[in-house]
Amino acid sequence: MSRSRPLLHGLAALLFVGLAVVIMAPTLPDPTSLAIGHPRADTWNHLWGYAWVGRGVLAGELPHHTSLLAWPAGGALWFIDTFGAVLTAPLVAFAGPVAAYNAYCLFSLALAGVATWALAWRETRSVPAALAAGLVFESAPHLLAQLHNGISESLAVGWMVLAVLATRVALNRPGPGPGLLAGVALAVSTVANWYYGVFALLAFGGFWVGAVVARRGSFRDLALTAATAAAGLLTLAGPVLFLFSRTMSAPDALVTRDPDFVWMTLVHHNMTDLVTFFRPGRYYSPDLRALWDEDLIVVVYLGWAVLLPAVAVLGTGQRRRASPWLGLALGFFLLTLGPFLYVGGRYLEVGDGWIPLPFLALYKGVPMFSRVSHAYRFTLGVALGLALAAAWLIGAVEQRRGVRWALALALGLGGARIAESFWASPAVFPLPVTDTTLPGIYAALGPDDGGALLDLPVSLQVLDRGRFTAYQIAHGRPIPYALNDPSPPFLYRNRFTRYLLELERSRVALLPPDGPAFEVLLGREEARLAGLRWIVVHTAEYPPTQLPKILAYLDDLATLVAERDGARLYRLDPSLP
C-alpha cells in the first residue's frame, strides 16, 4: 500500500480536477466568451472586476479607485474578488477577462477538493477516507449555487480548508514556527474571501480551546502558537483589510457596508430557513426570484448522502476522533441560522420577540461580525465538518474490512453525494452560462475621445443591467452605472436624462406635440459639456409600448449613428436644435 500511495494521491488530485471540469463543462465550447453563471446574477459585475484589476496589475498598480464607473465622478472601489483577479491577471493579457474568471472558478473548485483531501489524509492517514472527503466537499450544493450566482470569491473555500489544515498541524506540534505557518494560511484565506478568514479563525479558536483542554502541549507553547499565528495574520492580511475598509468608508465609495443596510439585508433578505438544510428539491428560502426579481439562489442544503455517514461514525470506534469535526459542523450550523430562528418561511416568536440565536451575540459583540450580511455562507463550515466526519467512517471501515472495502465505500459515497448535489438538491445543474459576446452596435463607436456612454434602458433589473458594466470592458468609455447601483445620481440631476427616465417609467404613450421644453435642451447641452457623448438604446429590451417615445425623444435631440443587432447608437452633437 505504501508504494502505491503517491500514485493514488496523484489520481485523486486528477479526479478532483476532473470533477471541476465536469461542473464547468458548459463553458468549454468557448471559455473566452462563455462565463459560468446566470446572466441575471452577479456574473457581469465579476467579469468587469477581473478586467479592471487584471489590467491594473499588468500596468503595475493595484486598483482601488475608478473613473470608469459612476461617471462623471467615479469613486473608491475594492473589487470583492481582487485576490482571484490578481492571480489570473496574466490570463487577462492574452485570453481576456472571461477566460481569467472561468480559470479561477475551475481552479477554486479543484482546490476545494484537493485541500479537503489533504486535510482528511493528514487526519486519517487513509487514502479512501481522504478521497471521500474531497469529493463530498467539492460537490457541496452551496458551491454549485455560488457558481450559478457568478460569485467567484465564494468558491475560494479551498484556502480556508488549507488554513484549517495548517491550524491542525500547528496545534499538534505547538510552537512559533507552526504558528506562523498557520497565520500565513489564515491571512491567505482572509485575503481570498474575508468571510472564509472569519471561518478559519473560528475553527482555529475552537481547535485551540480543544488543545488546551486536552493538554496537547504546554499552555505556554499553545499561547505562543496563537500569538505567532495572530502576528502572521495581521502582518499579511492587515494592510489589505485596511485598504478594503478604507474604500468602503471613503466619501466617494461605490460600495459601502452601512450598518443599517447590513442588518436589514441580514434579517429581511438573507434569512436561513431551518427547513432548507434538509429538504431536497428546488426549494429556496428566501426565494429571491419571487421576492426581489433576482436570479440569485440561496442553497444551504446539506445532503443526506453526507449527513447519514457523518452520524453513522458515532457508532464506530472512530467516534472520538470524529467528534471535533462534528462539533465544528454543529457550531457552524448554529451560525448559519443567522441572528433569529426562521422556520417554514417565518421567524418563530417567544412572547413579543423573535427567538435569538448565538449569531446575534457575535454580531453585536465582535467587530468583524457586524459586517456579515450573508449568514447562510457559514454552511460551508458545516459541509467541511461533515466531510471530515464521513472520512472517519471510511477510516473505520478500512480498519475492519481493509482498503478495498473502504475504497469502494468512498467511491460510492462520493458518487451518491455528487448525484444528490447535482440533481436532488436545490442547486442547478447543468450550470447556466453568460454569453459575453459584445453586441455589434459598439463597433460603430467613433474614436475614443474620453467621452462617456449611457446604455438604455435604465429600468432593467439591477443585476441584469450589469451587462452594461461588462460591455464597458470592451468599448472602454466611462459609464454612469456602478456595481449594483439602482439608478445613477447624474441621471436624476440632469433634466435631459431625467426626462428619459420619466419616459421609461411612465405609461404615457406619446411625446408632447410641441417638442421638448427649453430646460430639457439646456440639460442636453449640460450633459454633453460634462462629457456624455454616446447613448446606446437596446431596443429589444423595451416593451413595444415604451420604445417609440424613447426613440422619438432621442431622434429629436441626438444624432442617430447606427442601428444593428437590436440596438441604436446615438451621438450628442455640440449644436442645439
pLDDT in tens, 70-105: 999 999 999 999 999 999 999 999 999 999 999 999
Residue 462, classified by CB atoms within 10 Å of its CB into exposed (0-12), middle (13-18) or buried (19+), is middle
- pLDDT of 448 > 80? The answer is no
- What pLDDT is stored for residue 3 in this prediction? 54
pLDDT digits (tens, 9 = 90+) for 121-157: 999 999 999 999 999 999 999 999 999 999 999 999 9
CA distance 132 to 297: 27
Q: Is the pTM of this model over 0.75?
A: yes
For 31-57, what is the mean pLDDT? 96
Residue 11 lies in a domain: yes
Q: Examine the fold and report which residue of 382, 400, 424 is the final residue of a domain before the chain moves on.
A: 424
Residue 127 lies in a domain: yes
- pLDDT of 431 > 80? The answer is yes
- What pLDDT is stored for residue 365 in this prediction? 87
Confidence of residue 544 (pLDDT cuts 50, 70, 90): confident
Domain span at residue 450?
440-571
**Do both 361 and 460 map to the same domain?**
no
Residues contacting residue 193 through CB under 8 Å, at least 6 positions apart:
83, 153, 154, 156, 157, 159, 160
**Do both 444 and 413 map to the same domain?**
no
Residue 577 lies in a domain: no
- What pLDDT is stored for residue 65 in this prediction? 93
Q: Percent of the chain scored above 70 by pLDDT?
A: 97
**Do both 352 and 501 map to the same domain?**
no
Number of domains in the chain: 2
Classify residue 459 by its DSSP letter. Answer: -
- What pLDDT is stored for residue 1 in this prediction? 46
Buried b vs exposed e over 110-132: b needs ≥16 C-beta within 10 Å? bbbbbbbbbbbbebbebbbbbbb
Q: Examine the fold and report which residue of 424, 452, 470 is the final residue of a domain before the chain moves on.
A: 424
**Do both 129 and 69 map to the same domain?**
yes
Instruction: Give the helix/strand (H/E) hosting 347.
Output: strand 346-347
Residues contacting residue 186 through CB under 8 Å, at least 6 positions apart:
163, 166, 167, 197, 200, 201, 204, 229, 232, 233, 237
**Do both 491 and 522 map to the same domain?**
yes
Residue 432 lies in a domain: no
CA distance 317 to 250: 56
CB atoms within 10 A of CB 263: 14
Pairwise pLDDT comparison (446 vs 75), residue with the higher score: 75
Residue 340 lies in a domain: yes
**Do both 405 and 498 map to the same domain?**
no
- pLDDT of 514 > 70? The answer is no
Residue 152 lies in a domain: yes
- pLDDT of 239 > 70? The answer is yes
- pLDDT of 526 > 80? The answer is yes
Considering the chain, what is the average pLDDT of its residues?
91
**Do both 42 and 113 map to the same domain?**
yes
For 148-171, what is the mean pLDDT? 97
- pLDDT of 2 > 60? The answer is no
- What pLDDT is stored for residue 134 in this prediction? 97
Q: Examine the fold and report which residue of 385, 400, 424 is the final residue of a domain before the chain moves on.
A: 424
**Do both 414 and 486 map to the same domain?**
no
Confidence of residue 262 (pLDDT cuts 50, 70, 90): confident
Residue 431 lies in a domain: no
CA distance 54 to 49: 8
**Do both 368 and 515 map to the same domain?**
no
Q: Is 530 helix (H, G, I), strand (E, B) or coil?
A: helix
- What pLDDT is stored for residue 312 in this prediction? 95
Strand pairing category for 532-537 and 452-456? parallel
pLDDT digits (tens, 9 = 90+) for 388-420: 999 999 999 998 989 899 999 999 999 999 999
Confidence of residue 509 (pLDDT cuts 50, 70, 90): low
Confidence of residue 512 (pLDDT cuts 50, 70, 90): low
CA distance 8 to 15: 10
CA distance 135 to 151: 21
pLDDT digits (tens, 9 = 90+) for 324-368: 999 999 999 999 999 999 998 899 998 889 999 999 999 988 877
**Do both 477 and 360 map to the same domain?**
no
Instruction: Tell me how many degrees the CA angle 239-244-245 measures, rounded to the nearest 5.
Output: 100
For 164-192, what is the mean pLDDT? 96
For residue 45 the three cell numbers come to: 459585475
**Do both 154 and 269 map to the same domain?**
yes
Write down the residue that cell numbers 439646456 correspond to. Answer: 522
Q: Is 173 helix (H, G, I), strand (E, B) or coil?
A: coil
pLDDT digits (tens, 9 = 90+) for 450-479: 799 999 999 888 888 999 999 999 999 999
**Do both 136 and 84 map to the same domain?**
yes
- What pLDDT is stored for residue 389 in this prediction? 97
Residue 576 lies in a domain: no
